[in-house]
Amino acid sequence: MRALCTARARMRVCVRVCSCVSMQLKQLGTAYYVYPGASHNRFEHSLGVSYLSGAQIDYLAHSQPELRVTDEDKMLVRIAGLVHDLGHGPFSHVFDSLFIPTVRPDRAAWSHEVMSAELFEALLDDNGIDLLDEHQRRCVQRLVLGAKAQSSHAYSAPGVAQTVTMAAGFGGTRAQVHTTRTDVMGAGGDGGNGSAGSHLGGDEKMFLFDIVANGRTGIDTDKWDYLARDTYNIGHTSAFDHRRLLYSSRVVEDRIAYHAKEVMAVYEMFHTRYSLFKACYVHRATKAVEFMITDGGC
């Protein structure tokens, strides 16, 4: 099926996944009470993330054929973009950041990313969607979880310290930013179960886990879409253009890196996110309604 998305034009989507009730969620929760235009939903956002994820993997596959990206890789990444936000509860982040810690403090570590992975499994089973084999399902779940794939959850393996490398012109000096993340595929690239090799290529394709949910640098298609969509719907402006990064991306040492000349594009991305937090996400009226909803549910 093709769908028309206001921010991303026409795109191919998996119609059977899109038709499920669990895909119909508001994007900004209580921000609607401050910005009436913020009535867009997570279904729209998920369409956009799926589209951008496909665009990035297509670009990398075309510009670097040595990566040996397969059609199956492309399909799994697109599906991961489509279902990455399934786990959001009522009123978006209110559910996991306020409601759950208040009502169930014993589940304070609960996250919508883990729930998205679990609901993806339920979505396929409950709706009789027999599109993927068991291992492909696990790969989509790991793509959704990104760096969180190896937490104490079922997809776990020991965490390791990683070095994020951004290539300066893709050669010569590299600026290195050290960060702690958990290895999505675990030691040996198999997620601790020795089974990664048949899909997504194991260690040699770890860069695929940087596309939808990048726990190494925070630069991912999820962010690209919601920054554009949220600024548009609340009437704000932004100098950030995701295309500057998408078309300067390259896999270096199995990480997605960006040309050093695009450092300002990276800055604008994080600056836009900061501006949205100040103007919308933590606006006093938005937070007041969130607290009232939490109190009402206790």
Residues, the chain? 298
Q: 40, 45, 112, 242: which is the annotated catalytic residue?
A: 112
- What does the alpha-carbon distance between residue 155 and residue 83 come to, in Å, rounded to a whole number? 17
Q: Which of 232, 254, 195, 236 is nearest to 69 (CA)?
A: 254
3-state secondary structure at position 32? helix
Q: Respond yes or no: is residue 62 known to be catalytic.
A: no
Q: Which residue has the tokens 């913020």?
A: 38
Q: Which of 19, 11, 12, 143 is nearest to 76 (CA)?
A: 143
Q: Which residue has the tokens 């879409």?
A: 225
Q: Which of 199, 252, 186, 225 is nearest to 55 (CA)?
A: 225
Quick count: other Cβ atoms within 10 Å of Cβ 178? Answer: 8
- What does the alpha-carbon distance between residue 285 and residue 200 come to, in Å, rounded to a whole number? 44
E-state strands within 123-173: 160-167
What are the DSSP calls for 5-27, one per residue? ETTTEEEE--HHHHTSGGG--BS
**Residues tagged active-site:** 112
